[in-house]
Amino acid sequence: MADKAYLILEDGTTFEGEAFGARSTTYGEVVFDTSMAGYQEMLTDPSFAGQLLVLTYPLVGNYGINQVDDQSPYVQARGLVVREHCKTPSHFESTETLDSYLCRNGIPGIAGLDTRALTRRLRSAGVMMGVLTSELTPEEALRELRTAPAYGEEALAHKASTRDEWTVPCTSSTDKPLQVVLVDCGVKQSIISYLTAAGCHVTVVPVSTTAERIRALSPDGVLISPGPGDPVHLTDLENVMRDLLGSVPIMGICLGHQVIARALGAKTFKLKFGHHGGNHPVRDVANGRVYITTQNHGYSVDDTSLPAGLEVSHVNLNDGTVEGLTHRDYPLISIQYHAEGSPGPQDSSYLFQEFVELMQRHV
């Protein structure tokens, strides 16, 4: 007989299901993702750090776990919530089950609950903190949750960032690779792979790296990565960006985009239930073209707060929020969505080549 597990939201709403993965108790902000595949990439995406991940696609685990799709060295989400957990996967690359993968990483899961009802609850009430447990009663779990810090109170990007500098060489045939310094707020492996394949030699540095150290690395460009949490915790990185803007081409993705906007004087705000999934339509303001994008963020740039010179380049067609920024004076590419997908569509991977061309024009 399967072990019982509970998911309890901060408003007291309780869902009962079957435990899989690690048998433990965890808490986090409960968010839903609408992607139809890619649960391994989602679980290892540092942008999900501090969160309990709800997958709206009803069957999860059917192709198992492989050795190539991890986006970071370990599972970043604090818990996984699914409708149906497949215990017998079938795929030629599969090396283990989702259950054993979560157990190995110490991450609890819950299956068999109504994920549609849960998603509707989060859409109507907004994201909430929650606790996932196979150890406590719902009453005990709710009491424990009320003593835990809220998602927005944690400086999660500092926890997700590397502690040391490390380098990944260019993998394409080019005579003179471009030197990119990547500030790690919670970078995904696929971003590094796109850059190295596009002719870049990538040096990954901690989120706390100073402008002086970045300059000492003689970069042709600087990329600020995606990552988890509220950008208000990254004021030091904002100051670094103010120092560097205009002197070197800069690209910001997701959290990096928000940090750049704040460095230039714009404000950010928390979305009601965030954008998480691989089916978000984004319109390029310059040419009207629409891209289907992968997104994973709970905060957005306030378009009414943009200072002179900073302009909206891309817009979300679902809710009209800012999806990209450009600057009249600075060499800058700044996008809210994930150009690398992983998982999700590859429509926007051309932006890495645009970043390369921007750097080449400023060498």
- Residue-level pLDDT at 173: 86
| Res. 20: pLDDT tops 80 | yes
| Res. 2: pLDDT tops 80 | no
* Over residues 313-318, mean pLDDT: 98
Beta strands 108-111 and 14-21, pairing class:
antiparallel
Q: Measuring CA to CA, how many Å separate 199 from each of 16, 223, 334, 351?
A: 50, 15, 20, 14
Of the pLDDT bands very low, low, confident and very high (cuts 50, 70, 90), residue 256 is very high
Residue 254 known to be catalytic = yes
For residue 281, how many other CB atoms are within 10 A of its CB? Answer: 13
Beta strands 14-21 and 128-133, pairing class:
unpaired
- What would the pLDDT profile of 92-105 be if each residue is shown by its tens digit? 999 999 999 999 99
Beta strands 108-111 and 4-9, pairing class:
unpaired
- What would the pLDDT profile of 126-184 be if each residue is shown by its tens digit? 999 999 999 999 999 999 999 999 999 999 999 999 999 999 999 998 889 999 999 99
Q: What are phi and psi of 155, to 5 degrees?
A: -85, 75
Residue 201 known to be catalytic = no
Helix (H) or strand (E) holding 315: strand 310-316
Q: Tell how far CA 221 is from the center of its chain.
A: 22
- What would the pLDDT profile of 39-73 be if each residue is shown by its tens digit? 999 999 999 999 999 999 999 999 999 999 999 99
The single residue of 254, 257, 276, 280 carrying the catalytic annotation is 254
Sort 288 into a burial class: Cβ within 10 Å, 0-12 / 13-18 / 19+: exposed
* Structural domains in the chain, sorted by start: 4-154 (3.50.30.20), 157-362 (3.40.50.880)
Residue 338 known to be catalytic = yes
Q: Reduced to 3 states, what is the DSSP secondary structure of residue 204?
A: strand
- The Cα–Cα gap between 112 and 24 comes to 17
Helix (H) or strand (E) holding 312: strand 310-316
